[in-house]
Structure 1
Amino acid sequence: MLRFERRRDRDRSCMIGTTLWYGHKPFGERIEKLLGIGFDYFEIALDFPFPDDNEELKRVIREYELKTAFHAPLDILLASPREEIFGASLKVFEKCLKFAANFETLYFNFHVFHFTPTFLFPEIREKGVKKLGKAIELAAKLSNEFGFEICIENDTFFVEDFIIGDVKLTLDIGHFAIEAKRWGRDYKVDLQEFCRNHRSRVLVAHVHDVSFSKMCDHLPLGKGELDLRIIKHALDEIKPRFSLLEVFWKSAQFGDFATLVELEESLKILTAWL
């Protein structure tokens, strides 16, 4: 294990994490800075070339004794009703789950995509949900064997039909607000209802600000248009075991990645709520 100063000034039941992905290579310096700021764990994105090109990733997890969760790659379609696409996606999904089993994984997060225009028809949706059921069955078997939870994250494709089997939920509050606005709904009312209905299933919260005018999410807290009181209320309602500060962008202009300064400022806000 590498020796450096980790910040240990909080005592709470909810762990606060941040993201790690291929674009953060080489990982060592960034990991040290993020641990120094005070993050408890990392949710690692397994987008290509991960998990196949994994030597550096495995090395830093072990050298820094990281507490880790994993995010499935975004190019798998686990609700595709087309067998060829679903079958290929399931193979990648299984590979990623087995990679996560090499570590003391906290949870494994995934999206349920399909890109199927006919999904709006009940008979097509039923086929897609059945495919997803097979994926969840496989994931539950592996996660039970290896000792971590599996979580579906809400997004533009998400429907409550996807909440089946032994799956937990990752509530991405920014995604939820953006989707509600997109459909002309009151995100505050809808979010409160969702939290009441599913709080027993929500294991993880993804936290970030959003710009409704630009329909842009993953902004630093306080840099968008989200009513931050609603985030705090949602966290109080669901009491997640894990809260991930999922901040990617410096502003709604895109192109400029958030710096460690923005991450630390957002962490201070989130920490005060938990």
Structure 2
Amino acid sequence: MSVRQGFTVENGADLDASLSFAADHGFDFVELNMDWTFERQRVDSEAVRETAVEYGVDLLVHLPYRLDPGSPHEHVREGACRELEAAIDAAVAFGAEKGVIHATSHAHPEKWNHEKIREYLYDSVRRLADYGRERDFEVSVENLKTLFFDAGDFPDLFAETDSVACLDTGHAYVTGQDAAAQADLLRTHGDRISHVHLNETRRGDEDEHLPVGIGEFDFETLAEAMDEADWSGTCTHEVYTYDREYVAHGKAAFDRLL
């Protein structure tokens, strides 16, 4: 088993301070949010790369997600894919090794056929995964909290595409996949789940993005599955906080389980 850990950097967080904290607290990488803070036109790609190298911390990215790669409308879908491809190019310029995408659609769930929307999603996933692969960059598909795609659809994603996935523990939990179900996903499909978003919640109807260990999700069961599957991958502590000490708390709690 080889588990590398990092944390998300967003909401205007300072890159130097984030990388310094990561290096000082034993994190392997940071995951840069490209939807705003590190949007490709807002940052100097070379400066991002050089700063990460200076601190000896690897980079992952969360690609823009206020887009519609599963739109039933051809040109909307095309535009989303083109923007994501441009973001992938920027991420490669950062020196990032992988990026997370949302398999999402803004189509009306009561009007559009769900299987048809999923076909559009998978077409976009194939396109983006191939685009990344040509650039030695891994595109990882995250489960969401939508009627069109959640963690229960991962087996279908794996059957229909050759993409890898990002298992978001909070999203999965509130869509009915508890720790045991998520552990089964890792045991069965661990070779296709390359990345995990670790976030905790105190309630079953909302993912609160809290640090590991202070909510009700059973991370011990998930860690046991990683060990049993001899899983290798990356785990981002996706904690929404302005105080990075909470991220360090989550890492310490998860380290005790590994």
TM-score (normalizing by structure 2): 0.85
- The answer to whether 1:156 aligns with 2:145 is yes
Correspondence list, 1:216-255, <5 A: 216-238=207-229, 239-248=231-240
Any unmatched runs of 5+ in structure 1? 1-11, 181-185, 249-256
Higher mean alpha-carbon deviation, 217-226 vs 38-47, is at: 217-226
Q: Contact (CA 8 Å) 2:6, 2:22: kept in 1 or not?
A: no
- Give the residue type in structure 2 aligned to 1:127: K
Number of residue pairs matched? Answer: 246
Match of 1:27 in 2: 15
Identity among equivalent positions (%) equals 21
Any unmatched runs of 5+ in structure 2? none
- CA offset at residue 46 of structure 1? 0.7
What secondary structure does 1:137 align onto?
A: helix
- The answer to whether 1:272 aligns with 2:256 is yes
- Give the residue type in structure 1 aligned to 2:164: K
Take 2:183 and 2:4, find their aligned partners in 1: how far apart are those partners? 22
Query: Residues 103 and 53 of structure 1: is their aligned pair in 2 closer, same or farther, counting only changes over 3 Å?
Result: closer
- Give the residue type in structure 2 aligned to 1:47: D
Tell me which of 107, 121, 130 is aligned to 2:119.
Answer: 130
Greater RCO (CA < 8 Å, at least 6 residues apart): 2
Tell me which of 12, 15, 39 is aligned to 2:27.
Answer: 39
Q: Contact (CA 8 Å) 2:199, 2:239: kept in 1 or not?
A: yes
TM-score (normalizing by structure 1): 0.80
Q: Contact (CA 8 Å) 1:188, 1:230: kept in 2 or not?
A: yes
> CA deviation digits over 1:112-165, x for unaligned, max 9?
1112233686xx334323322332232233222211221101111224244432
- The answer to whether 1:263 aligns with 2:247 is yes
> CA deviation digits over 1:190-247, x for unaligned, max 9?
3233233322201011112112166232101222111232232343355131111111
Tell me which of 52, 57, 62 is aligned to 1:64.
Answer: 52
Correspondence list, 1:165-176, <5 A: 165-176=161-172
Higher mean alpha-carbon deviation, 192-201 vs 165-174, is at: 192-201
Query: Residues 145 and 261 of structure 1: is their aligned pair in 2 closer, same or farther, counting only changes over 3 Å?
Result: same
RMSD, aligned α-carbons: 2.4
- Give the residue type in structure 2 aligned to 1:240: S
- Give the residue type in structure 1 aligned to 2:102: H
What secondary structure does 1:42 align onto?
A: strand
Match of 2:72 in 1: 81
Take 2:179 and 2:207, find their aligned partners in 1: how far apart are those partners? 18
Match of 1:6 in 2: none
- CA offset at residue 19 of structure 1? 0.9
Q: Contact (CA 8 Å) 1:173, 1:206: kept in 2 or not?
A: yes
Runs of 4+ in structure 1 displaced over 6 angstroms? none
Query: Residues 247 and 179 of structure 1: is their aligned pair in 2 closer, same or farther, counting only changes over 3 Å?
Result: same
Take 2:29 and 2:224, find their aligned partners in 1: how far apart are those partners? 23
Q: Contact (CA 8 Å) 1:247, 1:258: kept in 2 or not?
A: no
Query: Residues 178 and 245 of structure 1: is their aligned pair in 2 closer, same or farther, counting only changes over 3 Å?
Result: same
Take 1:137 and 1:214, find their aligned partners in 2: how far apart are those partners? 31
Take 1:22 and 1:62, find their aligned partners in 2: how far apart are those partners? 21
- CA offset at residue 22 of structure 1? 4.7
Tell me which of 81, 85, 91 is aligned to 1:90.
Answer: 81
- Give the residue type in structure 2 aligned to 1:171: L
Query: Residues 90 and 233 of structure 1: is their aligned pair in 2 closer, same or farther, counting only changes over 3 Å?
Result: same
